[in-house]
Structure 1
């Protein structure tokens, strides 16, 4: 049985982020695509290493949060660390109707909830 994000130990989340509650990186919204630029290295935080493995192909932030079973806010902090270290790149997906139109964030949140309920 998998643990719910709501049941996550706050101390663990605090430890994962080094006590930070917000990311300095503004680049990450739910649909930002993340791609790893290197392989994990020995001694790296396990969540960072997992992100690098998952992101060998472009992966959306919302997908990472689901795969890691972590809140998006925590994943954004971890991604900010990796971006600052040059270990990932981040970009917004191109849409057929133009770069300025993205899916409604509320719909994406509903999709994420639906995926988690599967």
Structure 2
């Protein structure tokens, strides 16, 4: 099925999200697919037993060669985050992607640091 068959320019998505996820609402893998978790392709070949849909392949292509947050991938593919998580769970189960948890709060920027950066940019 080509990408163009999934969307009608006037009506939007032709296939409902639950159909894309085969009626599932939660990923099959036990791994946490937090919105800020990052996903990257492992580069492994697709196993013969894997039944990947066009959406699985689009998702795999979107994370090929680059680490990206779950929310960003879902947005770029035009999928609800819940559907993207289910598809990512499938890919994770087949060893096709790696999921890294979000960065520790101790290493993330504080609000005061971000304000300083914004003020510095405004001063330019």
- TM-score past 0.5 threshold: yes
Structure number with greater Rg is: 2
Q: Secondary structure of the equivalent of 1:83?
A: helix
Structure 2 gaps of 5+ residues are 1-6, 111-124
**CA–CA separation in structure 1 for the residues paired with 2:102 and 2:26:** 23
73-82 vs 15-24, which deviates more? 15-24
Q: CA RMSD in A?
A: 3.1
Structure 1 gaps of 5+ residues are 104-118
Match of 1:114 in 2: none
Q: Secondary structure of the equivalent of 2:16?
A: helix
Match of 1:45 in 2: 53
Displaced runs of 4+ in structure 1, greater than 4 A? 39-43
The one of 15, 20, 24 equivalent to 2:24 is 20
**CA–CA separation in structure 2 for the residues paired with 1:22 and 1:63:** 19
62-71 vs 48-57, which deviates more? 48-57
